[in-house]
Amino acid sequence: MAILGRSQRRKATVEPVTLKILVAGGFGVGKTTLVGTVSEIKPLRTEEALTEAGRPVDDTAGVETKSTTTVAMDFGRITLREDLVLYLFGTPGQDRFWFLWDELAQGSLGAVVLADTRRLEDCFAAVDYFERRGLPFAIGVNCFDGAARYPEDMVRQALDIDEHVPVVLCDARDRESVKNVLVTVVRHAMARATAAREPATS
């Protein structure tokens, strides 16, 4: 039997680990932009035009120029490493679509909660949701043009979240900035999983 030289051997195929990450937050905070910015495939979007009939239930204060809204989800994919692929699911922001969150959250490793410091209260519901479910999450403070910048500790205090929850300043339009947020979520979720497996010390 002939022995193949090193250069003739086929490189072993790496089967990547695929992880599911949710992207949540208030209406108009930049979830669709974030998924589209970082996705290596054409993102799936389920956007519909805002109508006059929806004005009474869609709070557009602070995002008056927004003309569309996500009604089901945004979907994208990014390969962080050869052996690690993230599937991104952007959740709808309005209250009337929150019934979809339970299905989207199934099998998720963790979540990004996008926040806008001009309308910080809009992300309270997402924070509460993930805290109740025990799903690891990180806060991504989307730094909009013209918005005041606040230190991460000040944002943490305003949101009343635990010290272990990461808070990261980001720009949903910048690929490297978004990748940093996603890496932060993965690391946080992995650390939580490792800590949960470790036996308690007396």
- What's the pLDDT tens digit per position in 83-125? 999 999 998 866 666 678 888 899 999 999 999 999 999 999 9
Q: Would you say residue 35 has pLDDT above 70?
A: yes
DSSP string, 109-153: SEEEEEE-GGGGGGGHHHHHHHHHHT--EEEEEE--TTPPP--HH
Chain length of the chain = 202
| CA–CA distance, 97 with 101 (Å, rounded to integer) | 8
Nearest to 75 by CA among 34, 103, 112, 111: 34
* C-alpha 158 chain-centroid distance: 20
Q: What is the pLDDT of residues 36-66, one digit of tens each?
A: 999 999 988 665 554 444 444 445 454 454 4
| CA–CA distance, 173 with 136 (Å, rounded to integer) | 24
Identity (one letter) of the amino acid at 101?
A: W
* C-alpha 69 chain-centroid distance: 17
Q: What is the set of domains in the chain, with CATH numbers?
A: 15-59+74-197 (3.40.50.300)
Q: What is the pLDDT of residues 149-193, one digit of tens each?
A: 999 999 999 999 999 999 999 999 999 999 999 999 999 999 999
How large is the average pLDDT for residues 4-29? 77
Report pLDDT for 27: 86
- The answer, as to whether pTM is greater than 0.85, is no
